[in-house]
A = this chain, B = another copy of it.
Amino acid sequence: MSGNSIGQNFVVTTFGESHGVALGCIIDGCPPGLELTEADMQHDLDRRRPGTSRYTTARREPDEVRILSGVFEGKTTGTSIGLIIENTDQRSQDYSNIKDLFRPGHADYTYQQKYGLRDYRGGGRSSARETAMRVAAGAVAKKYLKAVHGIEIYGFLSQLGPIEAEQIDREQIEQNAFFFPDASKLEALDEYMRELKKSGDSIGAKVSVIATNVPVGLGEPVFDRLDADIAHALMGINAVKGVEIGDGFAVVTQKGSEHRDLMSPEGFASNHAGGVLGGISSGQPIVAHMALKPTSSISIPGESMTVQGNTAEVITKGRHDPCVGIRAVPIAEAMLAIVLMDHLLRHRAQNQNVHSQTPVLGMRS
Contact = CB atoms under 8 A, between A and B. Distances in A.
Interface in A49-94: 66-70, 72-73, 75, 77-82, 84
A139 interface: no
Given A78-B114, A216-B114, A353-B31, A221 B2 contact: no
Contacts of A221: 3-4, 79, 107, 125-126
Contact of A273 (B77, B105, B351): B105
- Copy tally for this chain in the complex stands at 4
Nearest to A278: B107
Given A11-B1, A15-B79, A26-B4, A21 B242 contact: no
A309 B359 contact: yes
A68 B25 CA distance: 11
Interface residues of A, number: 167
Residue with the greatest number of chain B CB neighbours at <10 A, chosen from A73, A78, A269, A273: A78
A356 to B, nearest CB: 6
B358 A307 contact: yes
A246 B298 CA distance: 21
A354 B216 contact: no
A24 interface: yes
Contacts of A248: 241-242, 249, 291
Given A223-B5, A251-B241, A294-B256, A263 B109 contact: yes
Given A2-B29, A17-B70, A110-B278, 19 more contacts: A15-B69, A15-B82, A24-B84, A31-B350, A32-B354, A73-B117, A77-B119, A102-B358, A107-B221, A112-B356, A130-B222, A203-B254, A203-B256, A204-B253, A206-B249, A225-B236, A232-B232, A244-B291, A305-B359
